[in-house]
Structure 1
Amino acid sequence: MRPPLKGYCYPLTPSGTSSLVGPPPWHYATEYLNLLFRADPDKVAPFLPEPLEPGPDPGLGYVAFSQWWSLWQDRPDLAATHPERTQYREAAVWVGCSYRGRPGQICLFIWVDNDFSLARGWFMGFPKRLGAIEFSEYHPLNSLMPPLESGTVLRGAALAHGERLMEGTLTLRDRISPQELPFPLARPLFHIRHFPSIEAGAPPSVLELVELGAENVRFGEEVWRGEGTLRLFPSDLEEHTALGKLEVLEGYHYHSGYTFPGGKVLHRWS
């Protein structure tokens, strides 16, 4: 009998070496430019199928522009041998929600610029699509670039298939502690995992509400708060403007890291 094919995910091969993503735990570090907004709660609610419910402040959400560094447990050498498989950028729209009275957040739209992050996101319940992400990076040894201080401006933007989808800016004002980050930032993640059936007309093979785990959560030394701006551009196929007019409240820039050990299924619709 021939041995089974190996791998955490596609492509499955006799050795398993080619898997696009290795098994968890997955280790992350990120730099965020987050813009907190208030939307019409009536436009947020349709994105929250039962048993999810609106959060404590139903209209709150945020747009996140971010850049990431990640490794999976059995390949700690990837950053040295294949750095292109450890780095990526994302842009996402999040809203607050709750599950059985427990406040959290859910990602409604997200674009990423690397295939392994897209595939891994689908496993976790992120609705990822490919895109191009712009993110301000200032180097301290460039004499024309400002240091991160009060008044410094950071910018993020997201594009997909030639369309500009959204862009935002953050003007740094003052530093705060991580504990001062407002809801729904840094709250539990509730996601919807969906994989369609291959049989025509059959219900999805997987349709479940999950909570994503996080261990060893850490924040960088500086968490900046400031004034933000946000522009969303219409698209024929992308629905990121479905939340209507967004009132930008504040913005936040910080670094964080954590380990994803796995998650748990909270509810199955299928």
Structure 2
Amino acid sequence: MDKTFASFTAPFTASGRAALVPPPPWHYAGWLINVGVRLDTTHGAELVPARLGRLTGKGCIHFADWQATTDGSELLDPVYSQYRETIVITEIERPDGSLYNYCPFIWVDQDISLLRGLLQGWPKKLGTTHMTRSLPIDHAAAAKIKAGNRLGASLSVKERRLIEAKLTLTGRPGQPLGFLTNKVVGAVGLPDLTRPDAPPRLHWVLPDIRDKVASDWHDAEASLAVLPHPVEELSLLGTPEVIGASVGWLGMSVAGATPLPE
């Protein structure tokens, strides 16, 4: 790339202003609904390469309503900062016995977030997430954090409903789940169109996360349904069994990535 061109990603222009994604750090804050699940590991080898590790059977489905920024300018033009996504997290055991998280599936409704995710090794595709917002007022429509209040979340991909979740707050303290508990290994790799017969060689990275802050997590009872889909392969994880749920708020910054230790 010519050094006179400032773009971090395409479109490549001298100013870099039109680039879809500027370089990190990327700052995120959001509202999360987390449903911890036990997953079938029978088809784990079809999702996780053996040299990376194996599924342990523990995982989480996150529904997230984010806003993100680089220098704060996106917060003044929210169409560039706001998005929602559904994240499937699986716990993996590395060949050396260490535990990490891995994301085999994730769907988002914003192209900026999609490309940021691919750069980090998150396999983002387009999908539509809807989720109940909790607002800090005591009103029937606010879904305030208190025992008995109910929340819902859903994911649709290509106009087909794929995941549905329903939660009831218990009033008890909750636990961080899924990617809130351990670093997520990213799988980075793009095909080479000069060799269309060869799949990309993946390499593994860990996010360089800084300035992580979180609210208290609030416990919930949850039910989860995964629906058939003609293309998506979420069924490789079987029928998820709910083992816990929580809701709350998270902030963090991504400064870059580092190679996963061998």
Counterpart-to-counterpart distance in 2, 1:141 and 1:224: 16
* TM-score, structure 2 normalization: 0.91
Name the CA shift for 1:46/1:83 in 2 (closer, same or farther; >3 Å): same
CA distance 1:9–1:183, shift in 2 (3 Å): closer
Structure 1 residues without counterparts, runs of 5 or longer = none
Name the amino acid aligned to 2:243: L
* Alpha-carbon separation, structure 2, partners of 1:184 and 1:13: 35
Question: What is the total number of aligned residue pairs between the two structures?
Answer: 259
Q: Provide Cα deviations, 1:137-167, integer angstroms capped at 9, x if missing partner.
A: 2444584224210111111101121111111
Query: What secondary structure is seen at the aligned counterpart in 1 of 2:42?
Result: helix
Is 1:241 equivalent to 2:235 in the alignment?
Answer: yes
The equivalent of 1:67 in structure 2 is 65
Where in structure 2 are the equivalents of 1:1-270 lying within 5 Å?
4-54=4-54, 58-72=56-70, 75-80=71-76, 82-99=77-94, 100-141=96-137, 143-145=139-141, 146-176=143-173, 180-182=175-177, 185-201=180-196, 203-204=198-199, 207-220=202-215, 222-266=216-260
Cα–Cα, structure 1 residues 16 and 184, in superposed 2: closer, same or farther, change >3 Å?
Answer: closer
Structure 1 residue 203, shift from structure 2 partner = 3.7
Identical-pair percentage? 28
3-state SS of 2:260 partner: strand
Matching residue's letter, 2:204? L
2:212 and 2:123 map into 1 onto residues whose CA distance is 23
Check conservation: 1:194, 1:204, Cα contact below 8 A.
no
Counterpart contact for 2:117–2:123, Cα < 8 Å: yes
- Whether the 8 Å contact between 2:60 and 2:177 is mirrored in structure 1 is no
Q: Secondary structure at the match of 1:97?
A: strand
RMSD over equivalenced CA pairs, Å: 2.2
Residue pair 1:194, 1:207 contacting (<8 A) in 2 also: yes
CA-to-aligned-CA distance 1:88-130 (integer Å, 9 cap, x gap): 0001211001333321111111110111001111111111111
Please tell me whether the aligned partners of residues 61 and 178 of structure 2 are also in contact (alpha carbons under 8 angstroms). no
Q: Secondary structure at the match of 2:20?
A: coil
TM-score relative to the length of structure 1: 0.88
Q: 1:212 to 1:181 in 2, by over 3 A?
A: same
Rounded to whole Å, the distance in 1 between the matches of 2:178 and 2:189 is 26
Q: Would the aligned equivalents of 2:148 and 2:171 in 1 still touch at CA under 8 Å?
A: no
Comparing 205-214 and 253-262, the one that deviates more: 205-214
Aligned counterparts of 2:33 and 2:205: Cα–Cα separation in 1: 26
Q: What one-letter code is carried by the residue in structure 2 that aligns with 1:124?
A: Q
8 Å contact 1:61–1:184 — kept in the other structure?
Answer: no
Cα distance in 1 for partners of 2:249, 2:47 equals 29
User: In structure 2, what residue type is equivalent to 1:162?
Assistant: E
